[in-house]
Amino acid sequence: MSLFPILLATVSAIIFALVNFYSLKIRVYAGKYKRQVLSLFSGITAAFVFLDLLPNIENSKESLSTLTSPYIPTIIYEDAIFFVVFLGFLLFFTLECLAVDSKKTTRANNHGTKAGGPSRRVYFVHFAALIFLQFVLSYSLLFEYRESAIAGVFFTFAVSLHLFVAENAMTEQYSNLHGKNGRLIATIIPIVGLAVAIVFPERTLEASVLLAFISGAILYQAIRSEIPTVKRKGLFMFLVGAGFYAALLLAYQIASWLL
């Protein structure tokens, strides 16, 4: 395996780790502009899913067919890869609903006071799912850089912003449970994911299916950050972020065509 993609992937994994570790400080530094910052990052994340991840997934339908052909009839394959995307979206939507429901139950048990939050069980399930998502993203770094150094940079940029959005959502939803220990675990995971990828390199087949699953989860989290509290400034920054990332991808495609 070439050393250059490993070095680039290592830098990206360190960036992921630093975003996780310093997410709370970034949130504090954002201050009164936190809503706009989250909206900007969410817009970039949404554009990343629709204009980068999903088009690549569309071109890899045969990967799912190859992996599941002994078990699933061939007629199902045509759009089955997008069912995997939906499963990722559905998983994090379900976890979010469980968290909200658990918080309401806790408050009801506290006689309607605002004290309390989601149960520890719901938190650990949600946190485990988020850790899995981060592991897959870090595990995919080497695959992205083997495809193209520029593609790896785009992937790192968008995912780093997404990690901040996801960490912010965990802090808001589980403020009484998700503290320093949670961030420390999340900080270690990118390094672990890359190390596993170096020892056990993924094939295009597995990469396509895993990226399909996490794209649904990423898309939900981007939408989740906007819908409940959308305001004019938040909407504007969301559109700015989406337009900015779309313009970057378009510029890259034009440059690739010209060269």
The 10s digit of each residue's pLDDT in 206-243 is: 777 788 888 888 888 777 765 545 555 677 888 899 89
pTM assigned to the model:
0.82
**108 Cβ neighbours under 8 A, 6+ residues apart:** none
Query: For residues 6 and 142, is the Cβ–Cβ distance under 8 A?
Result: yes
Query: What span, in angstroms and rounded, lies between the C-alpha atoms of 12 and 155?
Result: 9
Query: What span, in angstroms and rounded, lies between the C-alpha atoms of 111 and 157?
Result: 45
The 10s digit of each residue's pLDDT in 23-67 is: 888 878 877 788 788 888 888 988 888 888 888 776 666 655 665
Of 123, 107, 205, the closest CA to residue 171 belongs to 123
Tokens of 196: 């596993």
pLDDT, averaged across the chain:
80
Please report how many Cα atoms fall inside a 13 Å half-sphere around the Cα of residue 42, on the Cβ side.
29
Tokens of 3: 């050393």
**114 Cβ neighbours under 8 A, 6+ residues apart:** 107
**140 Cβ neighbours under 8 A, 6+ residues apart:** 155, 197, 202, 207, 210, 211
Task: Of 74-78, 90-94, 192-196, give the lowest mean pLDDT range.
Answer: 74-78
Segments making up each domain of the chain, as ranges: 3-258
| Per-residue CA distances from 192 to 155, 163, 184, 201 (Å) | 18, 16, 13, 13
Within the chain, residue ranges assigned H as helices are: 3-21, 23-30, 34-48, 54-58, 61-68, 80-109, 120-139, 141-147, 149-173, 180-199, 204-224, 232-258
Residue 110, SS3 per DSSP: coil
- Which of 241 and 102 is assigned the larger pLDDT? 241
Query: What span, in angstroms and rounded, lies between the C-alpha atoms of 43 and 237?
Result: 7
